[in-house]
Amino acid sequence: MTDLAAPRGSATLASTTLPELLSHAARDGEVPFLRCPERTWTYTEFAHVVDRFASGLRELGITQGDRVAIAAPNSAEWLITWFATVKVGAVLVTLNVAYREREFDFMLNQSGSVMLLTSAQDGDFDFVSFLDRLRPRIPTVRHFVFLGGAGFAGSHRWEDLRVPGEGPVADPDTGPAAPEDPAVILYTSGTTGEPKGATLTHASIIASARAQAEHLAQTSGDVAIGHMPLNHVGGLTCTVTASMVVQGSVALLPRYSPAQALDSIGRHGVTIFIGVPTMYAKMMELPEFAGVDVSSVRTCVIGGSNVEPAMGRRIIDSFDGARLANLYGLSETSGGCIISAADDDLDTLVETLGVPIGDFEVRIADDDNHPLPPDADGELQVRGGCVSPGYWDLGAPSTFLPDGWLATGDMALRRPDGRVALRGRKKEMYIRGGYNVYPAEVENVIAGEPSIAMCAVIGVPDVVNGEVGHAYVVPATGATADPEALLDLCRTKLARYKVPARILVVDSLPLTPSGKIKKVALRDAMVAP
């Protein structure tokens, strides 16, 4: 039940499902919600269209428990589809618009989706003809819906599903969903293996969003930039849902663009900038960056890892007075679960991810899942309301432990002050001559050099040592990278066994749809020594 006595802007709303959350946020009339390039949507306008689209879904026979898939750039229509889907009790399957045959085939069949909504065209890619050819291989999909254009015979235009009219429809209730019901199936980015569909519930998404909003002191006056993809928890939870729990606004962009992000700051007075390091780097490299007033930004959030020293200093200097914070989260935690403390200085940000947020718990465990003492390396595990109940149609494998702990697959240590320091992916750790090497530690040293824009370290087989490190570096714009000088730097700052055997200079690194370095692709394309 929604707590109607909760004040506007409160992050402690009693809403327990996404339809309840929207209903609560829309109660105050003309509060702005989405600031899109073409128009601004108030919460009330958005809620009315959600009701009408939900009625259209019902007319097509979409009902509780059905899976509705979407692959499209960020837009109001994307979010309307999500809230209408969960309002009828169905589950949204979030796909990336960059996916192609293999991903669509696997994910639509694995999820058993009955409806697929996509852009009719994305850039020069024709989704209509693509899906027309793919139809025989995705037999569960009964309905194809296209945004921004007509489809093939028997398909629907997105606009056709919206019941006509401007006011509330006859069934404005918040729908049949319960807090523990699935709301989203979000496929993991696949940095280390085959994608799995993390099942996020209404309660888990709201738990993460609420904890983040409280920890970052978000209010109804905040405007978060919305360029993280909505098929990723960075867009879905950390941006949109966290804004909703305080009735804040989202400056929504179709996808990340350095120029559009910078323009959005000036145009909409963005106060919360959320992005991965590459987003910050590309925007700050724009010649026009120095001429834009970015003083509205009060919080800069970096997702995915400890902030690199040079990047952290540059952000602090560029966004004068803004709070810089690391945010750690996974698909399986529905969003953020660890964020830097408010008083963390740059040295602490470089060394640690932060502290658990809300009432979430973290521990560092050994290979038998026994807790380890402070300052001991082990696997980071998380427990709390943000944790997914498991993977779609796979149940709860060893990642989800019987006592509620999530085994993240990340190696970390917890300092005596409670802050968590990331060491690297458990599967990325390699062993050189009997010594464990965590790539994140080596990457931070190399990427700390101003001449380096990006760095990735992987372990590769070696006859003598078992495994050695190969580092791939992308030079900063206008700079050159000297592998020998970087190796000398590593020899100075790291134990001998941690120094990479090779440093390779490359033009770019493969990225996942969420902007993380895809190390599995580096291994697949590894250059033999």
pLDDT above 50 (res 528): no
- Report whether CATH 3.40.50.12780 matches the domain 202-425: yes
Average pLDDT over every residue of 505-512:
90
Look at 282 and 217; give whichever has higher pLDDT.
217
**Predicted local distance difference test score (pLDDT) of residue 168:** 56
pLDDT above 80 (res 169): no
Nearest to 355 by CA among 341, 342, 343: 341
Burial readout 250-269 (b: 16 or more C-beta within 10 A, e: otherwise): bbbbbebebebbbbbbeebb
Angle in degrees, CA 239, 240, 243, rounded to 5: 85
Question: Quick one: pLDDT band at residue 395, thresholds 50, 70, 90?
Answer: low
Question: Quick one: pLDDT band at residue 167, thresholds 50, 70, 90?
Answer: low
Q: How far apart are the first and last CA of the chain?
A: 62
pLDDT above 80 (res 464): no
Q: What is the DSSP string of 123-134?
A: TTEEHHHHHHHH
Average pLDDT over every residue of 279-302:
94
Segment (H or E) for 84? helix 76-87
Average pLDDT over every residue of 54-77:
96
What is the C-alpha to C-alpha distance for residues 137 and 130, in angstroms, rounded to an integer?
Answer: 12
Share in percent of the chain as helix, strand, coil (round to 5): 30, 25, 40
**Predicted local distance difference test score (pLDDT) of residue 3:** 34
DSSP state of 170: S
Average pLDDT over every residue of 132-153:
96
DSSP state of 139: T
Nearest to 204 by CA among 343, 383, 347, 43: 383
What is the residue whose two structure tokens read 């929504």? 252
**Predicted local distance difference test score (pLDDT) of residue 14:** 60
Query: What number of other Cβ atoms are within 10 A of residue 83's Cβ?
Result: 24
What's the CATH code, domain 43-177? 3.40.50.980
**Predicted local distance difference test score (pLDDT) of residue 174:** 65
**Predicted local distance difference test score (pLDDT) of residue 7:** 38
Q: Which CATH class is domain 430-524?
A: alpha beta
65 backbone φψ class: left, alpha, beta (φ>0; ψ -120 to 50)? left
- Kindly report, residue by residue over 209-268, the tens digit of the pLDDT: 999 999 999 999 999 999 999 999 999 999 999 999 999 999 999 999 999 999 999 999
**Predicted local distance difference test score (pLDDT) of residue 390:** 94
Burial readout 340-365 (b: 16 or more C-beta within 10 A, e: otherwise): bbeebeeebbbbbbbbbbbebebbbb
Asked whether this chain's domains 43-177 and 202-425 adopt the same fold, the reply is yes
Give, in order, the Cα–Cα distances in Å from 184 to each of 4, 246, 269. Answer: 26, 21, 30
pLDDT above 70 (res 20): yes
388 Cβ partners below 8 Å, 6+ apart? 198, 199, 200, 201, 204, 331, 332, 333, 334, 400, 406
Task: Quote the mean pLDDT of the chain.
Answer: 90
Query: What number of other Cβ atoms are within 10 A of residue 205's Cβ?
Result: 28
Residues found in the chain: 529
Beta strands per DSSP E along 268-372: 272-275, 299-303, 323-330, 335-339, 355-356, 361-365
Q: Where are the domains of the chain?
A: 43-177, 202-425, 430-524
Nearest to 332 by CA among 238, 421, 233: 233
**Predicted local distance difference test score (pLDDT) of residue 101:** 87
Question: Quick one: pLDDT band at residue 6, thresholds 50, 70, 90?
Answer: very low
pLDDT above 70 (res 527): no
Average pLDDT over every residue of 323-329:
95
